[in-house]
A and B are shown apart, each in its own frame.
Chain A
Amino acid sequence: MTWCPEAADPAASGPVRKTLEMQDIKRPQRRWFVRPSSAYDQRSAMLFLAPMMLVLSVVAVFPVLYSFWISLHDLKLTRPHRVPFVWFDNYVKLFTDPLFWESVGRTASFTVMSVLAIMVIATLMSLLLNENFRGRRVLSAILLIPWAIPYVANGLMWKWIYDSGYGALNGLLMQMGLIDKYVVMLGDTAKTMPLITNAFVWKEVPLATILLLVTLKSIRADLYSAAKVDGANVLQRFVHITLPQLVPGFALVMIYESMMAIRHFDLFFILTEGGPADASHVVAWQVYVETFRKLAFGTGSALAYIMAVATFVLAYFVIRSTSRKL
């Protein structure tokens, strides 16, 4: 560098920290304390980030803290003037309530069933969409339709299909000869959760497919060519090249969809409102009941916080796996 006359003269060499900036492209920053390039950079970054920080602090941070504060009180809107501070009484009451644990079990089984179904279907679809064939664009445009429609419309659509009196599912089964007359669908406690799971999976599959497709597209094409030269057949290429590289995609989809399934509310509201004899009474529904029907805000907040903690633990892994890209 000292052989270059430009470098010897600081005024002609451009930005001051040229050497450091040339290096930082190759070296990923992992330290908590990142030295800024300049005070101007620090100021402008702060300025650019200010609106986001403002919005999120007011609308996301404050409610979280306030909600925790409420959960420590016994706040019932039916008697709003007396709000005793009860420490963690709300939480204790919830943890000792067997109905709570039943709803946790239902939420867990709903999550597991839907995530499994989503993974299987989305994997097959993304493998299909990764191939190049005529009409692929049409297929991927069609695929987006379930993702685009509102949850409410999805609920209404499936409610109509599952209708016990006139529904299409009943009609289809009868025309296929599987049943003799129309059966009760959503009102049957054995069938409720699988049917709701189906409606949820149908809506979530497109996004999972796209996430997996993104992962598939990042697999280097020359790996396949090299494997073919080495004599690997289709199945071997799939098992040894595609699957291992899909694992981060699987992890992301699994965790994201679990988060969505745990907190899902809309379908339970539209389809069954807690279900025949509590068959679909999941934790999210319980929060709604406590907050808006029983008007017990303290309990509702406590329940919501328990859900939040559970989702936070899951989300921690999402952040870990995706922050490598950031």
Chain B
Amino acid sequence: MTSFLPGRRTLLFFGSLLFALYVLAPIAWLVSSSFQSEAEITSVPPHWVPEQPTLENFAAIFQFSEEVVTYENRKQGDTATGGFIPSTAVNLLPSMKNSFIVALAVVVLNLLVSVPAAYALAKIRFIGRTSSIYFMLSTRVIPDIALVVPFFLFVQKLGLMDNLWALIITYLAITVPFSIFILTGYFESLPDELDKAARVDGCSRLQTLVLVYLPLALPSLVAVVLFTFLTSWNEFLLALMFTQTPASQTMPIVVASFTSDFNISFSFINAAGVMAIVPPVIIAIMFERYIVSGLTAGAVKG
């Protein structure tokens, strides 16, 4: 859409500035707070830019401190001077590892399940095609809260409580419908003639999928990987239910536990928040171009 409104460039500039500010200001404050010591962070009015930047919060995350702060010795230090870390701080890095394992497993399994299904739904005419689509979409209608109780009892009976596999299977069920949705849309925008040409050349359906369509569907595959990874990484409610011990807790649970700890150390919480957002933000920025293109396939006309 081209328009020659006078001052269009200034309008765009101020609009971009406004939106960039809206998006970045809270994040910038989070990052700035994480570099401030406890004493500085509790100053009134707040220091927008840290005057004495310190890395002690991040150091607290990375060191496996033997001096665990327990309920008994919590009053040894002064909250204002800091040096305190929540009692569950040592769990942060292992929980990030758990989150990463779960997310990776979910991505791989998701691709294995969704890609053939999306290809079949997009390219093959078969009985039950429309009903499969409706069935698949309707599984995501139920809010996650409604799944909490039966999952809890089910997983407990199976003895899978505290096992990462319970999370992996659950996240798989959550992300598969959306992945199939994206992939089907993209596959439908690829020409049918390729399919028929491959079949005439003697390919089986599986070969057609792997050799012909998969290489062409790369943008939407990246978008699916991205969505799936981020959903698994960020999911909170189901992880809250299925993980009781620190051995299997994922990152959102541990980060949330810092706020309900008996030690509220704001600088540490902010540093943990920064650690929590760094992986997803990096991945999202790296693959930003695929998100829009993966969703717009087939919709671009003219």
Contacts and interface: CB of A to CB of B under 8 A. Distances in A.
A269 interface: yes
A42 B117 contact: no
A183 interface: no
Contact of A51 (B116, B276, B301): B116
A157 B30 contact: yes
Interface residues of B, number: 114
Interface in A32-73: 32-37, 40-42, 44-49, 51-53, 55-56, 58-64, 66-67, 70
Contacts of B112: 51
Interface stretch (A86-94, A95-103, A283-291): A283-291
B3 A156 contact: no
A308 B146 contact: yes
Contacts of A36: 124-127
A311 B137 CA distance: 13
Contacts of B289: 137
Interface residues of A, number: 116
A263 interface: yes
Given A56-B136, A133-B12, A319-B137, A144 B170 contact: no
A238 B172 CA distance: 42
Interface string B202-217: 0011100100000000
A269 B256 contact: yes
B154 A305 contact: no
Given A45-B126, A145-B281, A131 B200 contact: no
B138 A142 contact: no
A124 B12 CA distance: 11
Contacts of B44: 166, 171, 182
Contacts of A21: 196
A70 B284 contact: no
Interface centre among B146, B151, B298 (most CB of A within 10 A): B146
Nearest to A173: B45
B60 interface: no
Given A48-B119, A149-B276, A221 B30 contact: no
Contact of B141 (A53, A146, A312, A325): A312
Given A36-B125, A157-B30, A166-B46, A67 B150 contact: yes
Contacts of B258: 156
A48 B205 contact: yes
A311 to B, nearest CB: 6
Contacts of A45: 120, 124, 126, 129
B259 interface: yes
A196 interface: no
B69 to A, nearest CB: 19
B221 to A, nearest CB: 16
A276 interface: no
A234 B6 CA distance: 11
B141 A214 contact: no
20 contacts: A46-B126, A51-B113, A55-B113, A55-B173, A63-B146, A63-B150, A64-B147, A70-B150, A137-B289, A142-B24, A143-B19, A144-B288, A148-B284, A171-B46, A210-B292, A291-B149, A304-B149, A308-B143, A312-B138, A315-B137
Interface of A: 14-15, 21, 24-25, 29, 32-37, 40-42, 44-49, 51-53, 55-56, 58-64, 66-67, 70, 121, 124-125, 128, 130-131, 133, 135, 137, 139-153, 155-161, 163, 165-168, 171, 174-175, 182, 202, 206, 210-211, 213-215, 217-218, 220-222, 224, 234, 237, 242, 262-263, 265-266, 269-270, 284, 287-288, 291, 297, 300-301, 304-305, 307-308, 311-312, 315, 319, 323, 325-326
Interface of B: 1-3, 5, 9, 12, 15-16, 19-20, 22-24, 26-27, 29-30, 33, 41-46, 112-114, 116-117, 119-121, 124-151, 153-154, 169-170, 172-173, 176-177, 180, 184-185, 188, 192, 196, 199-200, 204-206, 209, 230, 233-234, 236-237, 251-252, 255-256, 258-259, 266, 269-270, 272-273, 276-277, 280-281, 283-285, 288-289, 291-292, 295-296, 298-302
The 10 A-B residue pairs whose C-beta atoms are closest, nearest first, are A59-B173, A263-B143, A304-B146, A148-B284, A220-B302, A48-B116, A45-B126, A60-B139, A150-B234, A63-B150
